[in-house]
Structures are given as C-alpha cells and as structure tokens.
Amino acid sequence: MNGKNRHILKSVLCLAALLCAGPLSGAGKESSDSLLIVFWNLENLFDCDGENGGPEWTPEGSRHWTPGRLRNKCNGIGKTLLWIGEQYRQLPDLIAVAEIENETVLRRLVHSSVLRKLEYEFVHFESPDKRGIDVALLYRKARFFPDKKGRPDAEAIRIPGRKTRDILRCRLPLPGISRDGAPDASDSLTILVNHHPSKLGGPQRSGPRREAAMRVLREACLQSSADSSARAFTVATGDFNDTPDGAAFRMLEDVMVNLSAPLHQKGEGSLKYDGAWELIDQFWVSPDLAGSHKCETAVIYAPFLLTKDSAHEGLKPLRTYSGPHYLGGLSDHLPIVLKIRYSSCR
C-alpha cells in the first residue's frame, strides 16, 4: 500500500469511528445547524461499454478502461468525500458532480463504493452534450427526507440552441432552520448544478456559448428567488469554465453573491492550466442566504489528490489519465466545498 492510499485509509477509519460515535450521522449539534455542499468535476467518469466515450473507453480500447479501474475511481471518489467529512466533522449533505456519463456510474458510486451504507441517492437527467457527459446531484436522503418518502423537485434546464450540458435544478426542503427546533417545511434550498461550455476554439467562438448558459442560469436564479416559500435560498455551483472575473458573470452580479471571488483574488484554484491555478469551479448564493447565514467556501487541496508538476513549479491535480497513460488519479479538478452555518435570525 503506497503512502497516498495509507493516508486515505487512515482518514476513512477515523471517520468511521466518528460515525459510530454519532456526531457525523446527523444526531450531533454541528450537523443539525449547518449544511455541507461539495462540487466536483470528476473528469470523464465513463462506464466501460464505449457508448458515449467511444471505443477508447473500453477494456480493449487505447485507454484499457476496465471495470476494475472504474471501481477504483469510484472508491477513490467516495474515500475523498469521506475525508472531506472528517475535515468538516460532518458528511457532505449535497454532492454536485460534473462529467459523469450516466446512471450506471452514479449507481456504482452511490451503491457499490465506500458510500454504499450512507444513504445517498442521486438526481440525473441525460443531456444533449456531444461527449455524452452530464451533471448530477447526490443527496443524503435521511437528511432531507427523514420519513424516506420524499424526493427532490428536479428538472433539467436546456441551453437553447446548444448541444451542451443542461443546468440541473433541484429544490429540497432545507433541514435545520427552525423556529422551535422543528424544521420549517416552507424553507427550501434550490441548487443549480452547472457545467458551462469550455473555451475550446478561442474567446470569439466560445464566449457566446458561455454567455448563453449564463443567461439561462440568471433566469433560473430569478425564478428561484421568486419562490413563494417563507424562505427559498439558492445555491449555484459548478464548472463555469471561466474565472470569477470573467465578463459573462456580470449577468449574475445583481442577483447572486460570488463566494469564490475572494479565493480567486488570493490565487487559489481548482484546476491548473499552463502552470497557473484557475478557479473555474465556483459557488454563488442568493443575497438572502449570504446575508442571513455564515457561508464559507474552500478548495480541497487534499495531498492524495495532488502530484508533482513536472513541467512547472509546485503541485497539480493527479488525473486518471495523461493522454492514453493510466495514472490512477481521480480528476484534473479539485473538489470545492461550501459550508452554510445557520444563524438564529427569526
């Protein structure tokens, strides 16, 4: 067992002990007065049949993408999420993901990896993306639907005229905010999961594609804010393929608050491109959420997600592949985290 795997295993064992003790299972004070949300671009989480990824994503293809390698990647993702849970002393309540192929890989991640006993479910819709990759949302069913009967109100929002990823909209009852210790059923959280078009082809070709996605996101944020609930908070997250100072984000600035801008200004990033860190994975929240509760966001620089950057200084994310060469990492993106600490404001 190498050093990175030992580090992950140690973290998972520590978290398992904490789960047995109770505070992370939802019974403790910390998990009942806060919400932990993760976004992670999982970089080409394909199954092995080559349907969308093409023949290279098969056991016989140039990448030799086998069920064993898929299983290892899903377990690595699950262990990383448990490691994040250890750092924050609570399991992630919502896990938004990008670059997943279909429900097959989601079921493997949720029901056949180290996450299988933690009651995660998922929401996913097939998008018209040319590469066959989508976004999805994992949620802890016991946290949002303790009676086990509910499901999120969800839809896929298309980007008109574009064969790209949909925006996934999910509305869930917001646990933990209450007047008298009991959840208020009228409080809700809408999460919008994004994976906007890339910069492939240069700014003149790609800019209009990202602007189209941003216009759809702006409208979705406005609709969420107009919800008739007593309090309907909104979180927009995802891979926006642009840094917080990108021109297209001006469409959001009057309706949402950018929590990632301070990290960007400090030079932090979730992706390393040409030797420089870029924060293209971000969290935006509605002004009422930012104003009434403490929102903290961070990039997860877990040591086992990083490797030496041989072409530039420092470290970079450890990918699953470098070209056709299998490296055994998880993604070229690092996960980002948003913790919302509820305030007593009623």
Nearest 5°: CA angle at 172, between 87 and 118?
45
260 belongs to a structural domain: yes
- Residue 26 banded pLDDT, cuts 50, 70, 90: very low
Q: Which of 236, 260, 101 is nearest to 165 (CA)?
A: 101
Q: What is the pTM (predicted TM-score) of this model?
A: 0.90
176, pLDDT greater than 70: no
Q: Are 320 and 44 spatial neighbours (Cβ–Cβ below 8 Å)?
A: yes
Query: Buried b / exposed e across 162-174, counting CB within 10 Å, b at 16+?
Result: bebbbbbbbbbbb
Length of the chain counted residue by residue: 346
Query: Average pLDDT of 173-186?
Result: 57
306 conformational bin, left if phi > 0, alpha if psi -120 to 50, beta if neither: beta
**φ/ψ of residue 231, rounded to 5:** -145, 120
Cα–Cα dist 275/151, whole Å:
43
**φ/ψ of residue 116, rounded to 5:** -65, -25
User: What is the CATH number for 35?
Assistant: 3.60.10.10
346 belongs to a structural domain: no
What pLDDT, on a 0 to 100 scale, did the predictor assign at position 319? 98
- Residue 183 banded pLDDT, cuts 50, 70, 90: very low
Q: Which range among 35-39, 204-208, 289-293, 300-304 shows the weakest confidence by mean pLDDT?
A: 204-208
What pLDDT, on a 0 to 100 scale, did the predictor assign at position 331? 98
The structural domain count of the chain equals 1
252 belongs to a structural domain: yes
Cα–Cα dist 232/234, whole Å:
7
Q: Are 43 and 99 spatial neighbours (Cβ–Cβ below 8 Å)?
A: yes
283 belongs to a structural domain: yes
28 belongs to a structural domain: yes
Mean model confidence pLDDT for the chain: 87
299 belongs to a structural domain: yes
What pLDDT, on a 0 to 100 scale, did the predictor assign at position 161? 86
Q: Are 84 and 334 spatial neighbours (Cβ–Cβ below 8 Å)?
A: no
Q: Which residues 6+ apart lie within 8 Å of 109 measured at CB?
A: 45, 74, 77, 78, 115, 138
Residue with tokens 């609930």: 229
Its domain, for residue 235, covers: 3-341
30, pLDDT greater than 50: no
pLDDT tens profile 187-237 = 889 999 999 999 877 777 778 899 999 999 999 999 987 765 567 899 999
